[in-house]
Structure 1
C-alpha cells in the first residue's frame, strides 16, 4: 500500500495559495472570488502571451456543475488593449476555468491557457464557503491522466500535481460534502486506485455499500455501483443482481433503453422493424434530447442503421416518418451514408431518391441550431462552435442535394436551395454542387448570373474541371479581356492576402530530404528512371484503384497536368501503390474520366511480401500507409509532401501550381 505522506504546514500554505488564481495572470475577474449563480466580469490582456497581436479573440469557459463538466462561450469585446466579457455562473457551479483562442474555429491556430498554468477559479456560496465540487475539481483538473479533468485543456507540457495533492483534495471534498459522494463515485474510485493500489478495493466497497444504503438511489448511481462490482471487485453475481434491480426499478430508464436497443441489432426483417417501432414508443428520443446521457449512443446507432435499411430497401415513406425524430448529427451522418453515397458512388438514377433527399435537407434546416454537435461529442465543442460545425455540414449537404436535384432535372429546385445560402458562403463547400447551380442557371436562361457564379467559384477555389472549362470559354468570349491570358485573370480573382495565407500553409509542408532513386515500369510501356529527372520539377501522386479519395483527386491532378502541358520542365507521374497493376481497370478509369497525359507507374515489391508493392511509397512516406499522398521532387530531393484530398479539384490544382512556382522562384 502506498503511504500517504503527512502534509506539512508549508505544503498546506502552498496548496492554499495555489487554490486561487495566479497574481501575474493575463486575466482579471471581478469579483475576485466568484460566487455561484452570479455574473463575473472578465478582462483579458493578451500582451506577453501567445495571442498578442491577434485581432479576433474569443473565450471558452468550462464549469464543474453538479460534479460534471460543461463547456460554454464567452463573447469578448475589445476596449483598447483589453478584451472584456461577462459570464453568469450556474447555480451549482463549484469551479470555473477559461481558455482563450485566436478564433472560434474548432481547431484554432493559437490558444492561451496561461502558459499551461490554467485560468482557474474556485467558486463560493453566497455565505462564503466553497461550493460542492470545488475541492475535487481543483484536484482532477490538475491531474489530467485520471481522465476526469477538462478535455484537451493543457498543451502537453503540463506537469501534474502529486498523488498526495490529489488525495488531499479528495479528503477535503469528502469531509465537507460526503453526502454528495454518490455523485463522484467514479472519481473517488480512480483516485483511490491510484493512491492505494489493490488495497483501494476495501475502501471503494465500503463506500458503495454506504451509497446503496441511502434512500432514493438513482439509476446513475446503481449503474456505477454495478460497474464497480463487475470491474473492480470482480463480483459478477453481485453486479448481475444490481443490473436486474435496475431493470425492475427503472423499466423505462437508461439501462433498459440500452438493453432493448442493442437487442434490436440481432433481429432481421419485419421483426426488426416492429421492434424498432416499439422502441421508439417506449423510449422516445425526444426525452433523451432533454437530458443527454452516454447510453444515448443507442439512439444514434439505431436511427442510423434503421434509416440506412429503409433507404436501401426503398422504404422512403418509413424513412420520412423517422427523419423528424433525428437531430442534426444523426441526419448528417445518415445523409452521408445514403443520399451522398448514392450520387457519388452508385449508378442509381437521381430521380429515384431526389424527393427523400429534399426531406433530409428540410429537417436539417429545422435542426441546424439544436446544439447536437456539442452534446453528442462529450463537450468537445462549445455551443457556438457546435453551431459553426452544424452550419458547415448544412452548407455542404445543401450543395450535395443541388447536385442530386440537377441530375434529376429539377433546375429550379437547385437554384432555390443554393440561394438559401449566403452568397459569401454559397460556393465554399462542394464543387459539384456549384457545377449543378451554374448549369441550372444556364438551363433557366440566366447566363449572366451563371457567369458571376463561375467567377465566385474561382475565387473560392471550388471549381470542377467542367466549371474551369466553362469559365475559360467565358473569358474567350469577352471582347475586352480583363488580363493578357486566362491564367493571369484567374490568378487576379483572388486577393494577394488570401493567396499568401494559402502559400504560408503550403510552406509549412515543404521539406528538403533525399529520396532513394527508383526505376519503375510504366503503364504506357518502358520504364521511368528517377536518375533521368535532372533539374525538372517532378510531381508524384501515390494512388490505388481501391482508394476512393485517390480517384476523386485525379480530376484536380488532371487540371494541374493541363496547366503545365506546354512546360517540359514539370513532369507528373501517378504511382499506383499498395495495389496490383490491373491494366484493364486503369484503362477503363482513364477512358471514363477522359484523363490525358497522366502517366501511371507501378510501385514495386522489395520486401518479399505478397502484393505489398509499396517500396517507393515507403521510401518517401515512412511510418504511414495512407493515400492519396503527393510528393514534389527537385534536384534529387523531396521538397514537398501532402496527404489526403480536401474535395476541391481546383484547390488541388492551385496547391500544385503554388508549390511548383515557389520552388522555381527559390534562390
Structure 2
C-alpha cells in the first residue's frame, strides 16, 4: 500500500511539474530523481496518446534548458526517443559549453587524451584532466579513468619508461576491468623480455579476476565479465612463471587451465603447447594442438607449430598434406553434426530499439530473414575481439538479402551517451554494423532486451530464423576468425534448411 501511495505521489508530482512549465518551471521537477523522471516519461510515451506525448514534449522543452547537466542529458535522450534527432544533436553540441566541468566535457577531454602520441603528453593531460574532473565527483564513472590511465601506461611501456608505466597501472580503479587494463603493458613487457616486471602485473590481473571466480554468488555484469576472462589469463601466466624459474607453480597453473577452462582460446592453446614443448613434453603438446586442429579452432600459429611437430615425430610433407585434407573433411562433417544436434526452437522475444542514429528498429522488421543478434558493449574486450570475424561474416553475406546482422549494445557503464560512444567505436574501426541500443531501464536498472534473451555474459549471439524462433545461442569468442566465420556460416545454412 505504501508503495502504491508513493508511486501515485510521484506521478502527480511529475504531472504538476509539466503543468507548471513556464513559471517556476524547475522547482517541482527537481524534487524527482533522474530515474523517477525517466520512468514517468516512459510511462507517458507508452500510452501513445497525443495528450501524453505533448506533455512529454512540454517537459523536454523545459529540461533542455535546465541548470543541471543530468536533466539536459535526459532531455537529449528523450528527443532521440521521440524521433527529434536534430534537437538532440543541438543539445549534445552545447553540453560541453554549458557544463564545462560536467560528465560530457569530461568524456570529450578523455577522448582527446587518447589521441596524444607520447607518454609525457598523456601524463600531463591526465593530470590536468584529474584536476578539472576530480574522481570523487564522478564515482559512477571510474571506468573512464581506467581507460585513460591504461592508455597512458601502455604508451609509457612502449617507450621503455617502465617506472611510469607501473605508476599509471596503479591508477586503475575498477577491479573487474583490471586484467583488461593491464594487458597492454604486460604484452609490451613480454615482447621486450622484461619477464619479471610482466609477472608482477600478471599476478595482479589473475588475483583481481579470481575474486569473481571465488565468489560465484555475485551475479553482476562486472562479475560475469571478469569470470569470462580469468581462464584466458592462465597460459600467459604459466609462461611468465616459467620464464621466472617457477616451474612447479607454472605446472599447477597449466593443470588448472587444462581441467577447468571450458573454452580455450587459440592464443591460450598456442601458449599452452609452446610451454609443453619447452618442458620436453612434445607428445602432450601434439595432443593439445591436434585437438585444436580437429575442432576447427586452430590459428595460423597453432597450425605452424603442429606442422613442425608432425614432421618431427609423425611423417613427411606428403603424409602431413593427406592428414590435413582428412582433417578438413572430418571437421566439416563434425561441425555440421554437432550444430545439428544443438539446434533449438524457442520463441524470440520481440523488441523495438533505437539505433545509434535514433531510428526505430524492431525484430519484426526482419520477418522472413535469418537474423544474427550480437549483444556487446564498448568496454567488453572479447566482444571487440570477435568483430573482425563478424565483419568477415557480414562481407560474406553482403549480397544475401535473407540474412541480417544486428549488433545490440547493452550493459552500458558510462554516464555519458552510450549511443555516441558505441557509434564512435564502430566508426573509428570502420565496421559496417547496424548497432541498436538496449539501454538500462531508469527505474529498474535492467537492460530489457538482453535480459529477455537470458544472456549470462557477453559477447552473446542468438540466431533467429525467419519465423521468429531462436535456433542457436552462442556465448564468448574463441578460435580463429576463419573458424568463427565457418561456424556461423554452417549455422546459417542449418537455420535456412530448418525454418
Q: Which has the higher strand share?
A: 1
TM-score when normalising by structure 2? 0.46
Structure of higher RCO (CA pairs closer than 8 Å, 6+ residues apart) = 2
Computing the radius of gyration over CA atoms, which structure comes out larger, 1 or 2? Answer: 1
Q: Which has the higher helix share?
A: 2
